[in-house]
Amino acid sequence: MIVIGTNFAYIKGKGGEVVKENTTILCCCGAGICTSNYLKEEIEDRMKAEKIKNVKVIICRVTDLEEQIGNADLVVTTVEIHAIEGTPMVRALGIMLDDVAAEKALKEIVSIVKNL
C-alpha cells in the first residue's frame, strides 16, 4: 500500500481542472519490508512514466495500517484486508505474479491517482 500526506493544496490543471497538489499512497504488506518495497518501486516507476508528480509512496505493515490510514489518499496492498471507508484501496498482489496482472493493477492505481 501507498500513503501520501494529504496536504489539501489544489492547483489548476492545463484544462482548468482542479488537481490535488500532493497525493499519498500507502503500500501495505504483512511485514512492511520486501513486498511493500517492491510495490513502492513499481508504483513510483509508473508514476514517473505517466508524468504524474507530487506522489509520495509510503510503506507499512498491516498491523500499522490503522495509525497510518489518516494520511493516505490511496491504499495498495498485497494482503486481504477489509475495505477502509473513505479511502480507495487496490489489492495489487498481481504486481508480484505476472506482467498481465501487474499491468492491470498499475493501470487501476494510475486511474485512481488521476481522479483524486
Distances (CA, A) of 93 to 7, 21, 100: 29, 28, 12
Residue ranges per domain, the chain? 2-114
CA distance 20 to 41: 22
- CA 48 to chain centroid, in Å, comes to 13
Q: Which CATH number fits domain 2-114: 3.40.50.2300, 3.10.450.50, 3.30.1300.10, 3.40.50.2000?
A: 3.40.50.2300
Share of the chain above pLDDT 70, in %: 83
> Which residue spans within 7-98 are E strands per DSSP?
10-12, 18-20, 23-29, 55-61, 74-77, 89-91
Q: What is the pLDDT of residues 90-116, one digit of tens each?
A: 999 888 888 999 999 999 999 999 988
For the segment 2-57, what is each residue's pLDDT rounded down to a tens digit?
433 333 334 444 544 444 678 999 999 888 778 889 999 999 999 999 998 889 99
